[in-house]
Amino acid sequence: MFRKMMNLIIGISLLATLSSSLFAAPPAPRNIVLIYADDLGYGDVGAYGATAVKTPHMDRLAREGLRFLDGHAASATCTPSRYAMLTGEYAWRQKGTGIARGDAGAIIQPGRTTLATILKAAGYRTGVVGKWHLGMGPGGKATDWNTDIKPGPLEIGFDYCFLMPATGDRVPCVYVENHRVVGLDPADPIRVSFEGKIGNEPTGRANPELLKMHPSHGHDMTIINGISRIGYMTGGKAARWVDEDIADRFTEKAVAFIERERTNRFFLFFSLHDIHVPRVPHPRFVGATGMGPRGDVIVEFDWCVGEILKTLDRLDLAEDTLVILTSDNGPVIDDGYRDDAVEKLGDHRAAGPFRGGKYSHFEAATRVPFIVRWPKTVKPGASDALVCQVDFPTSLGRLVGQTVAAEQAPDSLDTLDALLGKSARGREHLVEQAIHGLALRVGEWKYIPANNGPAVNRNTDTELGNASEPQLYNLAEDIGERNNLAAAEPERVAAMSALLKKLQSDGRSR
């Protein structure tokens, strides 16, 4: 029985993909802007139910566009989600795609087909501004931060980049524009180490009296701008960022890219650092909520979204610009710094109605805000279609007239009709990557294999969804994943287990 069920699931999936590809794509949008948040939860946005924090610009985007209720990142953590979104391949298929160190080498190598190469081939000018966290240069000691740093975004399809190499809580705490660190004084060269202390810079561990924000776990190495980080850095003092200014700097560069390319077709990947730790809002956002820095940087992120929308309006580009807003994974409250996020959370439910969060097997880990606005083509509303960021290469490829070979983006399905609101059917199945393994969605059913991982992340206090017995949930009836039906549905468990193993062993979903 379970074999028949598995064959039916696979058959429906193949039919849905084939059917979708038979529909002609609408004329390509003049521009595409992908706004990517970091750690923004489903319940952190007004359009998805938040009341303790106001997000008027994201709410406007949702009001004028298509709001997905079952939209997903490919992973519960940042680097693998970004890798999957750009390459169309589940990150768990490749070694070295876990959460990247600040000195990681380029994870996506030159010659690889990416979302950027696809859009560039279709005639779009391509830019990425913001958080990268996919490695740069050869990696480790081989990366010299004082010369040209490559390979990086420019080698995988982007014409322009302005970014932080990894995350705000990892060194090096500098901006890189194209191949060079911005504002570097050659007389004060940068050195970075994740192996051991270098130089004489104070650390959070040894000099807590110098900190303006204290770590709750880890994050106690080199102090930059009064905040201790992961990793050690010395030199580059003139080039170091000021955390309070990061959102402004990224937004300034994103707006400048749009203005510079306004007479061309362009693709902008605007990858903000907010609301990742350390959460250090600009002074004008401090106190914008009663939730402390975490709430305030949600408001800051929303402001950044508003600046992009205002720019598109001002340049008369909004009508024919496809804007996608989503997040690299779900929320986490305490992720390494004592910033009052836990104490001031109040009644705010960052995960919305879902269980878990960043790192977890449960839905809140990958089910995130996911909004598509294209006034010329997409009708406003809401969609229950199951969609995922891993499908962007193939789906947007078809939209711009580019055929993407299955081996180039092995897990990227054509869900364009769902993304544009022309079909209520999205994916038939989705593999969700947690920090300790994989889970499988098939329609409204969710399967989590048995595993021996911890039940709770002891640092973040997040439920991880690990258990010694398999778990099966019917999300249509049990959105909070509380009623494990595995014992009552052994055939469905067997079928979904077999499908997950097949997707792993086949090396592809397409």
With a pLDDT cut of 90, the percent of the chain lying above it is 95
What is the C-alpha separation between 42 and 58, in angstroms, rounded? 12
Give the pLDDT confidence score for residue 23 in this predicted structure.
54
pLDDT above 90 (res 463) = yes
Residue whose structure tokens are 């300034």: 252
pLDDT above 90 (res 486) = yes
**pLDDT, tens only, 51-66:** 999 999 999 999 999 9
3-state secondary structure of 183: coil
Determine contact, residues 123/265, Cβ cutoff 8 Å. Answer: yes
SS (H, E, C) 10-39: HHHHHHHHHHHHHCCCCCCCCEEEEEEECC
Q: For 397-408, what is the mean pLDDT?
A: 95
Q: For 114-122, what is the mean pLDDT?
A: 98
User: Residue 347 has which token pair?
Assistant: 């009644």
Give the pLDDT confidence score for residue 119 in this predicted structure.
98
Give the pLDDT confidence score for residue 180 in this predicted structure.
98
User: Residue 411 has which token pair?
Assistant: 């897990």
Give the pLDDT confidence score for residue 25 in this predicted structure.
72
Place 21 in a pLDDT band, splitting at 50, 70 and 90.
Answer: very low
Q: Give, as one character, the DSSP assignment of residue 379.
A: P
| Range 497-505 contact pairs with CB under 8 angstroms and sequence separation of 24 or more | 497/447, 497/449, 497/470, 498/2, 498/3, 498/6, 499/6, 499/9, 499/10, 499/429, 499/440, 499/442, 500/431, 500/438, 500/440, 500/447, 500/449, 502/6, 502/10, 503/429, 503/431, 503/440, 504/438
| Closest C-alpha among 7, 23, 4, 61 to residue 324 | 61
With a pLDDT cut of 70, the percent of the chain lying above it is 95
3-state secondary structure of 197: coil
pLDDT above 50 (res 71) = yes
Q: For 129-149, what is the mean pLDDT?
A: 98
Cα angle 53-59-63, degrees, rounded to a multiple of 5: 155
For residue 58, CA distances in Å to 241, 303, 305, 316 come to 27, 9, 7, 19
**pLDDT, tens only, 316-350:** 999 999 999 999 999 999 999 999 999 999 999 99
User: Which helix (H) or strand (E) is 131 found in, with range?
Assistant: strand 125-131
What is the C-alpha separation between 174 and 184, in angstroms, rounded? 9
pLDDT above 70 (res 91) = yes
CATH architecture of 32-180+257-419: 3-Layer(aba) Sandwich (3.40)
Q: For 358-365, what is the mean pLDDT?
A: 98
For residue 107, CA distances in Å to 12, 137, 188 come to 34, 9, 28
Give the pLDDT confidence score for residue 20 in this predicted structure.
44
Average pLDDT, the chain: 95
Give the pLDDT confidence score for residue 2 in this predicted structure.
44
Place 18 in a pLDDT band, splitting at 50, 70 and 90.
Answer: very low
Q: Domain boundaries in the chain?
A: 32-180+257-419
Q: For 87-95, what is the mean pLDDT?
A: 98
Determine contact, residues 281/341, Cβ cutoff 8 Å. Answer: no
pLDDT above 80 (res 24) = no
What is the C-alpha separation between 371 and 26, in angstroms, rounded? 19
Determine contact, residues 150/161, Cβ cutoff 8 Å. Answer: no
Place 80 in a pLDDT band, splitting at 50, 70 and 90.
Answer: very high
pLDDT above 70 (res 298) = yes
Instruction: Count the neighbouring beta carbons within 10 Å of the beta carbon of residue 79.
Output: 24
What is the C-alpha separation between 431 and 368, in angstroms, rounded? 15
Spell out a b/e string for 171-192, using b for 16 or more CB atoms within 10 Å of the CB, else e: bbbbbbebbbbeebeeeeebbb
pLDDT above 70 (res 286) = yes
Helical pair 292-314 and 56-64, crossing angle rounded to 10 deg: 50
Residue whose structure tokens are 């055939």: 491
Give the pLDDT confidence score for residue 26 in this predicted structure.
79
Give the pLDDT confidence score for residue 19 in this predicted structure.
43
Backbone φ and ψ for 227, nearest 5 degrees, come out as -130, 130
SS (H, E, C) 291-315: CHHHHHHHHHHHHHHHHHHHHHHHC
